[in-house]
Amino acid sequence: MSKTSKKTAAADRKARIEEMRRAEKARDRRNRIITITLSTVILAGLVGWGAYAINSANEKKDQKAAAAAKPISGEKTWDAKKLGRTHVETKVDYPMNPPVGGNHAPQWMTCNGNVYTKAIPNENAVHSLEHGAVWVTYNDKATATDIKTLTDKVTKTPYTLMSPDKTQSGTVMLSAWGHQLSVSKASDPRVDQFLTKYVQGAQTPEPGAACTNGLTAS
Amino acid sequence: MTDTTTTAPAATDPGDVDGPRPRLSRWLTVGAASLVALVLALWLMASTSNETDTVANIPTADSADAGFARDMAVHHQQAVEMAYIVRDRTTDPDIRRLAYDIAQTQANQRGMLLGWLDLWGLPKTSPDGYMTWMQGGHMGHQTEDGSLMPGMATNTELHQLDTLSGNKAEIFYLQLMTTHHMGGIDMARACAQQCAVPQERKLAQGMVDAQQSEMKVMADMLKERGAALR
């Protein structure tokens, strides 16, 4: 073998090594970039997901709170501070019909899902409202279907009571302490809304008081 | 053959010796970065769940926690009512003490359940009916005549209890109350398994234990009176 060919071979080797080192460096750089990019993407994803989770949870809570605080469409309210809570043995002249609060009889009307088919004394029913009951009343315009629908709901729901009231303006009226809703038929979805919201609801002046062992005869 | 002898030293060229070393350190870098990312992820998850604790721990209206609180409050109310009735119908000290114990306990537990619903801002009643939260449903119970859930007496039975007195009232009470406890225990056991709030699970398990032991007491009291379950 000649000297020159040996030299060429050495130069070739050197060049190959140079190239391998260059490739090595390029690989290193590429891997560094991949590592950094990947870590950044993972981190950004986690931060974003966390922020989204917190945000959506808060939003859901806000929506629920807003729905719970919202009055039922069409309901009337009275300032609870102005409704008397004294027990009286006399008849009371209430400014609204049916009454939604005020002074009342010492004995509450039994309101454990009771359906009364005859009118009941306002003074006893108001005492039930003070205990957290919803009082369902209807006038002569209520159909047999209306009465059946309401009877089914009331008998399944402790802390409600039901009775006819010929003198009231609405066909079907629901009263809780300080709140009243009038609907033209029992199938109105607001009936369930009113019951859900006010049966032992936040308006109750005397939470925990009984709906059993009251007056039952009308 | 000279070619091989000249290329052979190339294998031990210092340029190739540090070949595997950067590869190792590269994996170390990737490994370390992944570890950091994992730790950060865990920390972030821990910190987000802490921040949302107040949100995440409030049961929803259709949860077992809320359902049990709503339904058991109604179930308990009837036990309280029955206890008052029988205390008016007999002078027997054992029955009156048992009834007093049940009335006090269940009225207090009922207050806890309703208080939790208040804290959670949830309604006390649901238009969807009773026991819909229980896995396996409400065991086909027909709500009729005031018997809204399994174990509950009908209004007719309550009125009947109110007309009996002495030994007859005692026996009927023990029969009604045993059935009442049986229904109550099934529901409480479901909450002990399904409820998420630990205080509520504990209360439910307490009901299971206490009512089971009361059922034994009532079985003995029935036997003393020469009677059995209906």
> Domain count of chain B?
2
Give the CA-trace dihedral at B56, B58, B59, B65, to 10 degrees: 120
- CB of B45 within 8 Å of a chain A CB? The answer is yes
Does pLDDT of B83 surpass 60? yes
Domain ranges of chain A: 1-70, 76-198
Instruction: Indicate the pLDDT class of residue A172, thresholds 50, 70 and 90.
Output: very high
Higher pLDDT, A60 or A7: A7
Same domain, B42 and B86: no
* Cβ <8 Å between A208 and B77: no
How many Å lie between the alpha carbon of A43 and the closest alpha carbon of chain B? 7
pLDDT digits 0-9 by tens, B10-67: 444 444 445 555 566 766 766 776 676 667 666 656 555 544 445 567 999 999 999 9
Same domain, B62 and B161: yes
Per-residue model confidence (pLDDT) at position B117: 98
How many Å lie between the alpha carbon of B111 and the closest alpha carbon of chain A? 7
For residue A35, the chain B residues in CB contact (below 8 A) are: 29-30, 33
* B residues 53..92 contacting A (CB < 8 A): 55-56, 58, 74, 77, 80-81, 84
Let me know: does B29 contact A35? Beta carbons within 8 Å.
yes
Instruction: Indicate the pLDDT class of residue A143, thresholds 50, 70 and 90.
Output: very high
- Domain of residue B37 covers 16-53
Let me know if residue B184 belongs to a domain.
yes
For residue A201, the chain B residues in CB contact (below 8 A) are: 123-124
* Cβ <8 Å between A39 and B36: yes
Q: Distances in Å between the alpha carbon of B151 and those of B71, B75, B189?
A: 13, 9, 14
Per-residue model confidence (pLDDT) at position B4: 45
Considering CB atoms only, which of B37, B74, B111 is closest to A39? B37
Higher pLDDT, A188 or A14: A188
Give the CA-trace dihedral at A32, A34, A36, A41, to 10 degrees: 180
For residue B81, the chain A residues in CB contact (below 8 A) are: 112, 212-213
Q: Distances in Å between the alpha carbon of B59 and those of A161, A200, B190, B200?
A: 29, 19, 16, 11
Per-residue model confidence (pLDDT) at position B112: 98
Same domain, B34 and B85: no
What would the two tokens of residue B165 be? 């007195």
Same domain, B126 and B25: no
How many Å lie between the alpha carbon of B112 and the closest alpha carbon of chain A? 10
Does pLDDT of B195 surpass 50? yes
Same domain, B132 and B206: yes
Average pLDDT over residues B58-81: 97
- CB of B40 within 8 Å of a chain A CB? The answer is yes
Share of chain A above pLDDT 90, in %: 67
Higher pLDDT, B138 or B152: B152
* Cβ <8 Å between A35 and B30: yes
**Which strand (E) or helix (H) includes residue B215?**
helix B198-224
Q: Which residues contact B193 (CB under 8 A, 6 or more apart)?
A: none
Question: Which of helix, strand or coil describes residue A99?
Answer: coil
Same domain, B80 and B36: no
* B residues 155..174 contacting A (CB < 8 A): none
Strand-pair partners of A163: A137
How many Å lie between the alpha carbon of B120 and the closest alpha carbon of chain A? 10
Per-residue model confidence (pLDDT) at position A199: 98
Let me know if residue B129 belongs to a domain.
yes
Same domain, B205 and B149: yes
Least confident of A12-21, A59-68, A131-140, B183-192: A59-68
What would the two tokens of residue A209 be? 């008081």
Considering CB atoms only, which of B6, B22, B45 is closest to A9? B6
Question: Which of helix, strand or coil describes residue B101?
Answer: helix
Instruction: Indicate the pLDDT class of residue B199, thresholds 50, 70 and 90.
Output: very high
Strand-pair partners of B150: none
Q: Distances in Å between the alpha carbon of B57 and those of A80, B29, B49, B164, B195?
A: 32, 40, 10, 48, 11
Does pLDDT of A176 surpass 90? yes
Let me know if residue B62 belongs to a domain.
yes
Please name the fold of domain A76-198.
Glutaredoxin (3.40.30)
Same domain, B124 and B20: no
pLDDT digits 0-9 by tens, A185-198: 999 999 999 999 99
How many Å lie between the alpha carbon of A116 and the closest alpha carbon of chain B? 14
